[in-house]
């Protein structure tokens, strides 16, 4: 059976395999061989159709429950180099132990309100740049995980491709994006190798909270620039050295200043991160052929050094969140606090 790939006029391509010992209502081969999902649907197999999206959502739920396996193009799991591969290992271990906390787009997740607010915080800095995109822009969400930003790009009407090396995250993303609806595709790809995509394909590439976790971040910047159209928009966020501070503890300005000299953190088999200063981030962009419009400090509150000033139980209250975002913007422009950002958000254009 020919397997379709990529985002075309029909929308999404993926394939499905039954799991040994698991029964489903779908007509799946007994030997576990893969089936093109669109052959199981009698109607219009496009992610613009609500009924088909509901079907995809059911498949996502079944995959989450361990009843079947979903495979995503190019149908070969990427091989990540160490130490960056440790993040995937650590993420999988966390997902197995704390599945609800991991699925932050589910309202049942204890992290739902926090991650939704932090997405809103990023977007509060990006409005004027996003307004420059065509209404049906082609965008690529690199390292998009379970779809936190792809969900937003779909909401804005963009044709969205999500690239993520973690197949389990893609299975969850399928459900979240299907509920949103729109033109989307899912790809099991690492940020360092986006080879299925031709040069200069996308109006925008987003890489939120991903490039700092690569073994070789420069490869991720270069690939993002390669697939971006000339004049296209690149947005990314990376961890600052403030991320090296012990979480959940109130830190002094002196401790924050001392942390600025830390360049990386390594926990074998669990975590690898390379910390960026604004200068390092600008250099990484320019080396990839990206002209920087702005580098913005963010995440001083919630997960940042002033986390103790936030009442997390009030996240979800629009007025309270408005106030937090206002404080964030003040801190980003403050001579005293600007360098204490937990993350740096960069906006750039391809030359």
Instruction: List, for residues 194-209, the tens digit of each pLDDT value.
Output: 999 999 999 999 999 9
One domain, residues 198 and 311? yes
Cα–Cα distances (Å) from 220 to 65, 194, 257, in that order, read 33, 9, 28
Reference 25, options 75, 62, 70; nearest CA is 62
Cα 103-106-110 angle, rounded to 5 deg: 75
What local confidence, expressed as pLDDT, does residue 2 receive? 29
Predicted confidence (pLDDT) per residue in 149-195, tens digit: 999 999 999 999 999 999 999 999 999 999 999 999 999 999 999 99
pLDDT at position 225, please?
Answer: 98
Residues 142 and 271 in one domain: yes
Pair 78, 189: CB distance under 8 Å: yes
Judge if 126 and 91 occupy the same domain: yes
Domain stop point among 48, 71, 94: 71
Whether 146 and 293 map to the same domain: the answer is yes
Higher pLDDT: 273 or 31? It is: 273
Task: Please answer whether residues 277 and 297 qualify as being in contact, where contact means their C-beta atoms are separated by less than 8 angstroms.
Answer: no
Are the beta carbons of 316 and 213 closer than 8 angstroms? no
106 and 56 assigned to the same domain: no
Instruction: Give the HSE-up count for residue 271: Cα atoms under 13 Å, Cβ half-sphere.
Output: 10
Tokens of 195: 């080879």
Q: Which of 15, 46, 71 is the last residue of a domain?
A: 71
CB 314 within 8 A of CB 342: no
Report pLDDT digits (tens) over 273-283. 999 999 999 99
**End-to-end C-alpha distance for the chain, whole angstroms:** 43
Beta pairing partners, 236: 207, 346
pLDDT in tens, 315-329: 999 999 999 999 999
The domain containing residue 149 runs over which residues?
A: 74-350
CA dist 74 and 110 (Å) reads 33
For all residues of the chain together, what is the average pLDDT?
Answer: 94
Determine the Cα–Cα distance for residues 41 and 47; give it in Å rounded to an integer.
12
Per-residue pLDDT at 8 exceeds 70: no
CATH number for the domain harbouring residue 242: 3.40.50.150
Residues 130 and 261 in one domain: yes
Whether residues 227 and 304 fall in one domain:
yes
Cα distances from 208 to residues 35, 191, 335, in angstroms, run 32, 11, 26
Number of folded domains in the chain?
2
Four-residue CA torsion sign, 186, 189, 190, 192: negative
> Does one domain contain both 196 and 162?
yes
Assess whether 41 and 149 both reside in one domain: no
Cis peptide before 152 (omega within 30 of 0): no
Domain end, chosen from 32, 52, 71, is at 71
∠ CA 154-157-239, nearest 5°, is 45
pTM: 0.95
| Same-domain pairing of 222 and 327 | yes
Cβ atoms 336, 214 nearer than 8 A: no
Asked if 271 and 141 sit in the same domain, the reply is yes
Whether residues 87 and 58 share a domain: the answer is no
Per the model's pLDDT, the better-predicted residue between 251 and 328 turns out to be 328
| Torsion (CA) 189, 192, 198, 202 in degrees, nearest 10 | 90
């Amino acid at each position: 059976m020919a397997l379709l790939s990529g985002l075309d006029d029909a929308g999404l391509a993926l394939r499905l395999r039954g799991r040994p010992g698991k029964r489903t209502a779908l007509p799946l081969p007994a030997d576990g061989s893969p089936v093109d999902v669109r052959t199981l649907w009698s109607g219009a197999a496009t992610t613009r159709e609500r009924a088909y999206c509901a079907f995809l959502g059911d498949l996502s739920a079944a995959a989450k429950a361990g009843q079947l396996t979903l495979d995503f193009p190019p149908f070969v799991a990427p091989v990540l180099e160490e130490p960056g591969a440790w993040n995937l290992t650590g993420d999988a271990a966390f997902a197995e132990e704390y599945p609800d906390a991991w699925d932050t787009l589910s309202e049942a997740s204890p992290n739902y309100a926090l991650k939704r607010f932090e997405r809103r915080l990023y977007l509060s800095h990006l409005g004027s740049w996003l307004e420059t995109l065509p209404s049906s822009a082609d965008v690529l969400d690199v390292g998009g995980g379970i779809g936190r930003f792809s969900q937003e790009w779909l909401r804005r009407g963009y044709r969205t491709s999500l690239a993520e090396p973690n197949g389990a995250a893609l299975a969850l993303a399928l459900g979240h994006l299907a509920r949103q609806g729109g033109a989307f595709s899912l790809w099991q790809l690492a940020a360092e190798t986006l080879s299925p995509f031709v040069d200069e394909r996308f109006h925008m590439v987003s890489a939120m909270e991903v490039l700092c976790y690569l073994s070789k971040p420069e490869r991720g910047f270069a690939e993002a620039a390669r697939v971006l159209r000339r004049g296209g928009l690149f947005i990314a966020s990376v961890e600052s050295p403030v991320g090296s501070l012990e979480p959940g503890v109130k830190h002094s300005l002196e401790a924050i200043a001392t942390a600025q000299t830390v360049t990386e953190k390594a926990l074998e088999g669990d975590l690898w991160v390379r910390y960026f200063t604004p200068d390092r981030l600008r250099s990484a962009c320019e080396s990839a052929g990206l002209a920087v419009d702005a580098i913005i400090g963010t995440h001083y509150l919630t997960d940042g050094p002033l986390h103790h000033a936030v009442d997390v139980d009030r996240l979800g209250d629009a007025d309270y969140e408005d106030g937090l975002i206002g404080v964030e913007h003040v801190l980003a422009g403050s001579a005293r606090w600007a360098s204490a950002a937990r993350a740096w958000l960069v906006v750039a254009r391809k030359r």
